[in-house]
Amino acid sequence: MNSRYILALAIGTSLCFAGMVHGAAAPADTMNAGQKADLHKTIETCAACHGINGRSVSPTFPNLAAQLAPYIELQLHAFKDQSRADPDAQAYMWGMASQLSDANITALAAYFSAQPAAAGKPGNPALISQGKSLFDQGAPAQQIPPCASCHGANAQGMATFPRLAGQHAPYLLRQLLVIQSVLRTAPVMHGVVKNLTRDQMQALVAYLESI
Ligand code: HEC
Ligand code: HEC
């Protein structure tokens, strides 16, 4: 009996692990029953803010559903080693991440990345269309590159370039501001956002929340 089959038997139709059983390299495959139970408890802790499926109901808390696993892992390590140090990271995530083993970080990233994405929300059409054009084309006069060149044509993300589609606008706006002011270290993004105005940020996040 291979380990994936044993895992499937052990957890049956458990909602929490449904996404992992089919994953090609599901890290939970190598966990014993006690470690799996711990992981399940941890997911429930995360769910208090991020939602059990990673689709959070409060715009303060980012959706994790369908976020890319390599990006989630990178961020959890950055909270754990305290290199992501904006005020909300410190207040909400440093303590959480300090408790996570490397194996749990990998398993949590696999779990949340396998959850279906949150649906986009309608918003102000004029703002959304301004945001879409900035996202697709950038603003050459201000040396702002097209966001789509890294985050993907539909803001679906790629590897450590995060998915932005369907993310809560207030969360995204806060990130653009803390990245611009270098409270959040994100070297590639600093150059991108340094000349963005607050109005342009509002348009971009309205567009991203809507798709
Ligand atoms: C008390 C509320 C709370 C709990 C519990 C919590 N988080 Fe968070 N999480 C936040 C907030 C707030 C942020 C945004 C931090 C910021 O603005 O820098 C965040 C950010 C994140 C991010 C970065 C998302 C991104 O798009 O960059 C990840 C990944 C994450 N959390 C994973 C987890 C995991 C995994 C758990 C459970 C082990 C967890 N969180 C538990 C509040 C919480
Ligand atoms: C050259 C590649 C590149 C370009 C162009 C780019 N980004 Fe990013 N972006 C990144 C990377 C890499 C990260 C992750 C930073 C980290 O690891 O902390 C990121 C992170 C972000 C985040 C934080 C997401 C989260 O979940 O916390 C936002 C918001 C964002 N980018 C918006 C934009 C917008 C808007 C544009 C266009 C104006 C843009 N990006 C253009 C590479 C890029």
- Find out whether the beta carbon of 147 lies less than 6 Å from any atom of ligand 2: yes
Contact 50, 61 (CB under 8 A): yes
Residues contacting residue 9 through CB under 8 Å, at least 6 positions apart: none
20 pLDDT exceeds 60?
A: no
For ligand 1, say whether the CB of 73 is within 6 Å of any of its atoms.
no
Burial bucket for residue 138 (CB in 10 Å: 0-12, 13-18, 19+): middle
48 CA: nearest ligand 1 atom? 5
Determine the pLDDT at residue 27: 58
Above pLDDT 90, what percent of the chain? 80
In testing the pocket of ligand 1, which one of 16, 60, 94, 96 has its CB within 8 Å of the most ligand atoms?
A: 96
Question: What percentage of the chain reaches a pLDDT higher than 70?
Answer: 86
Pocket test for ligand 2, best of 80, 175, 189 (most atoms within 8 A of CB): 189
Residue whose Cα lies nearest atom 34 of ligand 2: it is: 147
Query: Ligand 1: does its nearest atom lie under 6 Å from the Cβ of 93?
Result: yes
> Residue 195: which pLDDT band, with cuts at 50, 70 and 90?
very high
60 CB near ligand 1 (under 6 Å) = yes
Q: Please, which residues have CB within 8 angstroms of residue 133's CB and are 6 or more apart in sequence?
A: none
Instruction: Supply the residue whose CA is at minimum distance from atom 37 of ligand 1.
Output: 46
Pocket test for ligand 1, best of 63, 75, 93 (most atoms within 8 A of CB): 93
Query: Using 50, 70 and 90 to split pLDDT, how confident is the model at 43?
Result: very high
Taking the alpha carbons at both ends of the chain, their separation in whole angstroms is: 43
- Span 55-114, pLDDT tens digits: 999 999 999 999 999 999 999 999 999 999 999 999 999 999 999 999 999 999 999 999
